[in-house]
Each structure stands twice: as structure tokens, then as C-alpha cells.
Structure 1
Amino acid sequence: MEESKKTIPPYMKAVSGSLGGIVEACCLQPIDVIKTRLQLDRSGNYRGILHCGGAVWRNEGVRALWKGLTPFATHLTLKYALRMGSNAVLQGAFKDTDTGTLSNRGRVMAGFGAGVLEALVIVTPFEVVKIRLQQQRGLSRELLRYKGPVHCALTITREEGLFGLWAGAAPTVMRNGMNQAAMFTAKNAYDVVLWNKYEGDGKVLQPWQSMVSGFLAGTAGPICTGPFDVVKTRLMAQSGDGVKYKGMFHAIRTIYAEEGLRALWKGLVPRLMRIPPGQAIMWAVADQVTGLYERRYLHPAPL
């Protein structure tokens, strides 16, 4: 079956992604905190995911597992809106002008372009703030260097310059570009293979079907982009007075020399615990939103 020429407009894709991002952030923030702590752990204080989570809970209270939720939720909402909307625009640009179909190559290029755009516009500055907040120990506001997301962003800008908010931009671009190229291509493939669902065909997946496709589509990226994610976290965590890594390639060489090859995949398990379930949650919400649009405007029921 060929893909229908009827397509969901980019603004609806953006809305569906933003709503999915809100739900995902609230559900999975603790795993993101644990991932960040593991990636920043150079002395082996944490023996694994459960030990890290338990240590944070015991030493800092349960609320510490939701540190950075405000920038994380805002970041996901804006990121998914930009990702889904820009991917839809780019897919339209890469479609064959005669048949209106999108090749796998065009789908990969659209996904990569959407990942690069979100990395530069949204992801990098928000993750810099989130990681700076997450690496702080304790909950006493008076003892913390950064009092909150806005104070953190202003402090970084004042002490390190505006580009301090774009620390780690290069590995973030590589990570997000590769992730989204794989994710959009895989999600479409799983929808077709598992559920015979083509965009614009009027068929609306059940939430559990979207979750299966989204979960499977979200597994490949973290494995392939692990080193970029570790390097991104290390670069973003550096403040102006404690710069150890001079850039992406220097960070990769330094981590490999000092901590071994496996260190470049630190935090992989919590990433796999967060990203595939996160994609499952996001797509379950997004597919219902776009499905409602399809039923109402692309394939309305006859009167």
C-alpha cells in the first residue's frame, strides 16, 4: 500500500509532541536524575542504578529525584514541539514532487535535520541548566549555588558568557541528529510492519500499539550515541573555573585514557530505562492527538 497523500499539518504534529513531552517528563524525571549522577561519578560512589537512586533518596529526600523537573518538562515540551513540527516540514520538503511519497533516505534526512535543529535551539541550553541543577547535592536552597532554573541560566551567562549555555553543543548535535534519524525511520517502519498503519490512512492506533512501536524505535539511538551523551554531560557540567575538557574530541580521548572504554557508555542502562519508555509514553499521547485530527478532518465519518 502506498502512503496516502493526505498528511497531518506540521502544527498538529507540534501540538501532539508537546503534550506527549509533558506526560513523559513527569513520569521519567527520576531516571534522568540518576543517569546524570552516574555520568558525573568519577570516583565510583554509586554502584549502580538502584544504589544511586537509593542514595539520592536517603541523603537528599525523595524530592531530589525530581530535581530539574521544571527545565526538563519545559525542555521536553518545546523540544518535542520543534522536533515533530520541523520533521513534518522537512518530510514534506523531501517528498517526491510527482508521487507525493517519502523515501527511506528522505525520512532519515528529515529526522537528522529535526534532531540538529532541536539540539541547537532547545536541547543544549536547557540541558546545561538541568545538569547544573542535578549535579548539586542537598536540598537546602541557601547552600546551593544555583537557586533555580532562571537563577542558574543568569549565573552561567554572567560568569561564562552567553555561549556558556551552549556548552557541549557539538556532541549534542551529533547525539540528537543520529537519534532522531533512527527514531522517526524506525517508528514508521514498526507502525507499518506491526500494525499496517500508514500516515494519513485514517487508521488510529490503540495507545498500547503506539507504545510498542515507540518503545522499539527508541532503543537503537542510546546504544549508538552513548559516547556523545557522556561527553555532552561532562562538557555541560563544567563551570568557568573548572574546565577539564577542551572540546568533544578532547573529552572522548581523556575519558578513554583515564577511565577506559566502558566509561564512554556510562549511564547507558538508565538511558535505556528512560528513552524507550519515554518514547512509548510520548507516542501514545501524540498518536492519539494526531489520530483525532485524522478522524475529524482527513477521514471524517459520513453523515
Structure 2
Amino acid sequence: MAAAASEGGGDGGAEERGRRKDSTSPPYIRAVAGSLGGVVEACCLQPIDVIKTRLQLDRTGAYRGIVHCGVTAARTEGVRALWKGLTPFATHLTLKYALRMGSNALLQSAFKDAATGDLSNRSRIAAGFGAGVLEALLIVTPFEVVKIRLQQQKGLRPELLKYKGPLHCARMIIREEGILGLWAGAAPTVMRNGTNQAAMFTAKNAFDIVLWKKHEGDGMVLQPWQSMISGFLAGTAGPICTGPFDVVKTRLMAQSRTGGDAKYKGMVHAIRTIFAEEGLFALWKGLLPRLMRIPPGQAIMWAVADQVTGLYEKNYVHRVHL
């Protein structure tokens, strides 16, 4: 009798472990969820990203703050100027979130304990960092180079602009600077995105557990407002920690390397030069608009992504296991 009970308990434990290992949505669903969230985020928050870029590139104090920068751009160039670079920004966010969410899910699956299906905090951080590095190298860097080159142009008359649009900008960069010109600022971008995603995925999971008692794969679907709160809080730490990397990334991407007269020679040289010429706080230029954009952006993205993945798990994964 005892042996039978033990055997039954062993089978039940194995079955439970199998459920836990397979109870989350697959990577392709995570990728789709992230891409949909990226589209919504881009449309809502593009003006803040334009203002952030203008502030980071301002070396003469032309803008007195976020509001003054936005009002100046709208008054002198038209309201549409606040949506400059939207096409590459929206495309880049869609692809970036698809890769980020999908690769993070794959890495988490690879790092899970084979016997229990549990994921340690160290493994969650490693999976997030890996996802950030992949998105930085494959998507973020070339798209942001094009976006920043478009955003730094002043005016709306096409005949007066060097770059006529995203594709023309990319072609011009390749023609004048070579294919590697699209990867200007890759090193600080890798550091920024890897650190950001390691912190973001870990913090999002922690806030879901602490605030809503929501665990990955438990079948619970958060309300959109709950996902927004968790996503907003998870998105606040990264910009503060990675501010210097973001400023350096923007400066390196904005400068043209034609003629061999680039002001900044690389990530370390840029940090030293900015510190020497503009002071320590210049390395955190644009922090406030980043905090105005990234946490709300994460709130929007997670509100969409959690609905997609949560409904999939509730209506398919858990129903199959019942």
C-alpha cells in the first residue's frame, strides 16, 4: 500500500513538473505579443523620443528644457516634426520587441532547471542580458543610427535636408561611411540594452509577484492597468543606470565618419571627452525625457503583451493540461 502510494506520488510529482515546464506560452507567442506592444508604444511616445534626441545633441544650450524643446520644434518646424523618424522608430520597436521577447523566452527555457522547471534569479538576469545584447546588435543599433540622423535634421523642406527618408538615409550612410556606419555606437548600445533588459525582465517578474501574486505560467491574466503598473515600475531603473551609455550612443550615432574627422573615437573616448568638456552631468543629458518615455513605453508594451500571452496561456496551454 505504501509502495503504491509512493509510486502514485512519484507519478503525480513528475506530471506536475511536466505541467510547470510547459505551462508558459511559447517563444513565438511572446514575440508576437511584444511586436504588437511595440507598435502601440511607438505611435504614442515618438514626440518624447524626438525631444530626448534633440536635448542630447544640444551642445550650446539652445533648449531650456523638455517643454521649450518641444514647443520650439513645433513652432519652427511644424507639429509633424515631433514625429520625425516614426517609420524607422515603429519598425525598429516592432522588430526589437519581437526579438527581445522571443529570445528571452528561448534563453529562459534553456536556463531552467531540467528537473523542476524552475528559473533562478541569476538565470533570469542572464536571459534578459542576452536578449538585450541580441537586440542591440541585430536591430537596435542600425535602426537608431538612421532614426537619430533623421531626428537631428532641422526643418521639413525635403530639398534642404541631406536625408530624405529612412531608406535614403541608410543608403547614404552605407555609401559615405561603409556598412559599418550603420553600427556606429554599437558598444554603448550593447551595454545599455543588455543592462536594461536584465533589470527589466527581473523587475517585471518581481513586481508581478509582489503586487498581484502573479507567477509565470500560472494561467492568471493581469488586467491591463496591473500590467501597466508593473511595467512602469520595471522600466524606471534602467535609464538611471545606463544614462551615460545612452548619451554616448547618441553622440556616436549622430556624427558622420566621412573625412576621418569624427569628434569621438569610441565609447571610452566619448565618455572622457564629454566629461572633460561639459561636466559629469552631461553624461545624463536627456534623462528626464528618457524617464518620461521608457517607463510609460514599458507600461504600454506590457499592457498589450500580457493580454496576448495571458489569454493564450489561459485559453490554450492550461486548458490542454486540464
- For the aligned pair, the TM-score class normalised by the smaller chain equals over 0.9
Match runs of 1:1-303 below 5 Å: 4-5=20-21, 6-241=23-258, 242-300=261-319
Aligned partner of residue 294 in structure 2, secondary structure: helix
Q: Considering only aligned residues, what root-mean-square deviation do their CA atoms show, in Å?
A: 1.4
2:288 aligned partner, one-letter code: V
In 2, Cα distance between equivalents of 1:129 and 1:105: 35
- 5+ unaligned residues in a row in structure 1: which ranges? none
Residue by residue over 1:192-222, the C-alpha shift from the partner in whole angstroms, topping out at 9 and shown as x without a partner, is 0000001111100000000000000000000
Aligned partner of residue 312 in structure 2, secondary structure: helix
In 1, Cα distance between equivalents of 2:248 and 2:297: 22
2:312 aligned partner, one-letter code: Y
In 2, Cα distance between equivalents of 1:295 and 1:7: 10
Aligned partner of residue 263 in structure 2, secondary structure: coil
* Structure with larger Rg: 2
In 1, Cα distance between equivalents of 2:208 and 2:81: 37
2:88 aligned partner, one-letter code: P
Structure 1 residue 229, shift from structure 2 partner: 0.1
2:49 aligned partner, one-letter code: D
Aligned partner of residue 47 in structure 1, secondary structure: coil
Residue by residue over 1:76-102, the C-alpha shift from the partner in whole angstroms, topping out at 9 and shown as x without a partner, is 000000000000000001101111100
2:248 aligned partner, one-letter code: V
Structure 1 residue 299, shift from structure 2 partner: 2.1
TM (norm. structure 1) is 0.98
1:254 aligned partner, one-letter code: T
Q: Is the 8 A contact 1:4 1:198 kept in 2?
A: no
In 2, Cα distance between equivalents of 1:216 and 1:296: 28
In 2, Cα distance between equivalents of 1:95 and 1:7: 12
Determine what percentage of the aligned residue pairs are the same residue. 81
1:102 aligned partner, one-letter code: L
In 2, Cα distance between equivalents of 1:7 and 1:19: 19
TM (norm. structure 2) is 0.92
